[in-house]
């Protein structure tokens, strides 16, 4: 299991939930929190860009090292910034060794299996970083809000997810779970911007308005899921996301710290290569 990262991550201790025995209060997190910000937006953007370049270097080393895999989970309501995080934080890494999986509602074949079946097939290999844009957590959010599964089945799903993630971390996968937390007002502005801007309108889905009407139920479902599945091996981090720059700054900072803490290194050279001359 990867070592905890006390230094940098202690800045965020109130945003991290790693104890499935205690409830996590999502409403206590201010979506407009800017604790990492310099107060100067342009300066913060430059900092994100610097971190993205450092993450690219670390990813190159991660790919070479091949002792670990990394699974990054991005969850959040519609417009919370999952695509934007992919571009802003991961957009400097080489596509060799990094890829994103955008999860949709399960198709007929996937529904004929248990919910984690399709997830297994998309997991990162050693050396790879896979980013889930939505994830297996949709299966404990959508049915809970839609009231299509019982409380007992919900608890079983949480427990199976915890077992699944523990098995992954025990076998070399580092799991980073981020819940992008925005306010209901911020979502209204972003949905309206999608409608009004021809370059964004393609992302607008009328179903998002239905989900918006269930805002309170989704917030409760997120709080319950985070409470139950924030574990020592795969903690949840709630990321204040009303500001896109702050969101990227927090996520990039955390990922950089997690990667540095792994003690990555280029694999040692086999002794028979020493002094070899290519002709």
Interacting residue ranges for a copy of itself, rule: CB under 8 A: 56, 60, 64, 83, 86-87, 90-100, 102, 131, 133, 188, 191-192, 195, 198-199, 201-204, 206, 209, 212, 266-267, 269, 273, 276-279
Rounded to whole angstroms, the Cα distance separating 45 from 153 reads: 43
- Closest separation in Å from C-beta 175 to a copy of itself: 17
Shorter beta-carbon distance to a copy of itself: residue 17 or 190: 190
| Token representation of residue 95 | 């596509």
Q: Measuring CA to CA, which residue among 224, 202, 161 is closest to residue 22?
A: 224
- Closest separation in Å from C-beta 190 to a copy of itself: 9
- Closest separation in Å from C-beta 61 to a copy of itself: 8
Rounded to whole angstroms, the Cα distance separating 117 from 113 reads: 6
Angle, vertex CA 137, rays to CA 33 and CA 178, nearest 5: 30
- Closest separation in Å from C-beta 94 to a copy of itself: 4
The 3-class SS string of 209-226 reads HHHHHCHHHHHHHHHHHH
Shorter beta-carbon distance to a copy of itself: residue 12 or 90: 90
Kindly tell me the sign of the dihedral angle through the C-alpha atoms of 219, 220, 222, 227.
positive
Q: Where are the beta strands (DSSP E) in the chain?
A: 16-17, 69-76, 98-102, 129-133, 173-181, 236-240
- Closest separation in Å from C-beta 86 to a copy of itself: 5
Q: For 74, phi and psi rounded to 5 degrees? A: -110, 115
């Amino acid at each position: 299991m990867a070592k905890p990262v006390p230094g940098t991550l202690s800045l965020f201790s109130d945003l991290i939930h790693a104890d499935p025995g205690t409830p996590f209060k999502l409403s206590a997190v201010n979506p407009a929190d800017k604790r990492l910000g310099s107060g100067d937006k342009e300066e913060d953007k430059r900092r994100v860009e610097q971190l993205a370049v450092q993450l690219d270097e670390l990813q190159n080393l991660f790919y070479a090292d091949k002792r670990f895999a990394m699974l990054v989970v991005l969850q959040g309501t519609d417009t919370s910034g999952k695509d934007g995080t992919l571009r802003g934080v991961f957009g400097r890494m080489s596509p060799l060794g990094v890829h994103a999986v955008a999860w949709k509602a399960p198709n007929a074949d996937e529904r004929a299996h248990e919910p984690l079946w399709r997830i297994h097939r998309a997991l990162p290999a050693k050396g790879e970083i896979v980013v889930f844009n939505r994830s297996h957590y949709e299966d404990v959010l959508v049915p809970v809000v839609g009231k299509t599964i019982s409380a007992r089945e919900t608890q079983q799903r949480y427990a199976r997810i915890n077992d699944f993630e523990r098995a992954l971390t025990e076998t070399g996968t580092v799991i980073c779970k981020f819940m992008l937390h925005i306010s209901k007002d911020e979502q209204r502005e972003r949905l309206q911007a999608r409608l009004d801007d021809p370059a964004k309108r393609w992302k607008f889905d009328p179903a998002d308005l239905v989900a918006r009407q269930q805002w309170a139920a989704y917030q409760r479902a997120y709080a319950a899921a985070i409470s139950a599945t924030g574990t020592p091996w795969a903690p949840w981090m709630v990321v204040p996301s009303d500001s896109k720059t702050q969101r990227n700054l927090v996520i990039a900072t955390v990922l950089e710290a997690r990667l540095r803490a792994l003690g990555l290194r280029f694999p040692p050279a086999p002794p028979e290569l020493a002094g070899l001359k290519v002709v």
